Structure 1
């Protein structure tokens, strides 16, 4: 989104693909994005209010388990902007903000992992952390998302625009 610093700006490797990605990850609702599948994602926002839960010690609090299981959470996920959706996912992955949940969407130490919940903070320069974003998906749906995402990127790239150093690496 044009925020890359010069030494990390890989958009110069393929300006055509960078333009497609900027267009695809904009302010449109994510439900309209080619890489989004309705019914697979759940979203909940927790304003800071009186404090934030200690997710690393306590896992996903019970009230949020219910909130993420509600039909409203499915609708809320689809109404996120694609930029917000991708930012929450990116921040959860980059900063280790991932909760591993069982088949019921609960944090347990003994049950197999069936869902991921990506957690990202909402921050402002004036107030610091304002709240937490929770984006939940079943493991099988996340795997499908990764394939859809890859297909979307591949379909967006044109072979003639692939830089020679990347083509040689294949």
Structure 2
């Protein structure tokens, strides 16, 4: 990529020098007028993929920040549940291989915890990066989409556990392959 940018820079300089001899002195432009815009090692232009949303000011400077309604499934309880799920995955990942037995119940609990852990992580992404105040329809759409994908993955894991070898057996086979 750098060689392409350099040759275009050289071509521009050569064209500018040829044109400088043809133009009168008062119309001559500097030899490297576009060098500030040309970056030798940049492969893409500076443009946003999505346009920024409308900038709307709601309320005044001295308005208090809105306090959300108390909900037992959010806040510290929610955080504690996320930590318990994440901590529970660790022993369930190691236990089937350390004990030497592949138990379908352990495998099912591991799959359920992985599914809940993934869902909670993606739910935090939707909450953090799609503000409900600015994008109410997109937020609802992404939330429903996440729920649908989680249900679909849960169905797929259930089918894989009941009709095939299961997750821990698959990891074991891939590890020894």
Q: Which has the higher contact order (CA 8 A, sep 6+)?
A: 1
Give the TM-score, by structure 2 length. Answer: 0.22
Relative to total residues, which structure has the larger helix share, 1 or 2? 2
Give 1 or 2: higher strand fraction.
1
| TM-score, structure 1 normalization | 0.23
Which one has the largest radius of gyration?
A: 2
